Amino acid sequence: MADPFDYAAKLLDRPAAAQRCRELRAAGKSIVFTNGAFDLLHAGHLTYLTQARRLGDALVVGLNSDASIKRYKGDKRPIVPEPERALLLAGLAAVDLVVVFDEDEPRDLIAALEPDILVKGADWAHYVSGRDLVEARGGRVVLMDMVQGKSSSNLIERILKAYASGD
């Protein structure tokens, strides 16, 4: 029996994750995919990932690499380095696989994994990378409401305010 606390076993490179997804599909399982930076893991992330996992049999999280986050959010991010963010995600019961990607968007990863359901936060309704790939295979895209006031950026702002006062 697999060790349920072997979180590192959930961390796969792209080819291994694609193979695992093929095996899951062959067993009749549905695959849910979402992606993001997941910097400073918080309750909003947990809620989002748990809701995403409930949509299918396995949740694969595409994790932006440190380099891709820096290109998107600037040199001050991420706060938590890629290996730690990956391990924290893998430690969540809702997450079945974590795959780091270095591109600016997960389109190539989505093409490799062929998920049945692609989940993004509703704040991305204007553009969902890989939507066309998933829908062309008969899959669907789910836009999920985010937990109000819960974001890594809000958390960073709260920390900065708390420590700016000199207390």
Residues 119, 83 contacting (CB under 8 angstroms) = no
The whole-number pLDDT of residue 167 equals 57
The CA distance from 64 to 31, in Å, is 19
The whole-number pLDDT of residue 149 equals 67
Phi, psi of 134 (to 5 degrees): -70, -45
The whole-number pLDDT of residue 150 equals 67
Q: What is the mean pLDDT of the chain?
A: 92
| Domains along the chain with CATH numbers | 9-114+128-139 (3.40.50.620)
Peptide bond between residue 4 and the one before it cis (omega within 30 degrees of 0): no
The whole-number pLDDT of residue 162 equals 86
The whole-number pLDDT of residue 126 equals 81
Structure confidence by residue, pLDDT tens digits, 65-101 = 999 999 989 999 999 999 999 999 999 999 999 999 9
Average confidence (pLDDT) over 149-156: 75
Structure confidence by residue, pLDDT tens digits, 23-67 = 999 999 999 999 999 998 988 999 999 999 999 999 999 999 999
Give the strands of the sheet with 58-64, arranged side by side.
97-101, 58-64, 31-36, 117-121, 140-144
The CA distance from 10 to 17, in Å, is 9
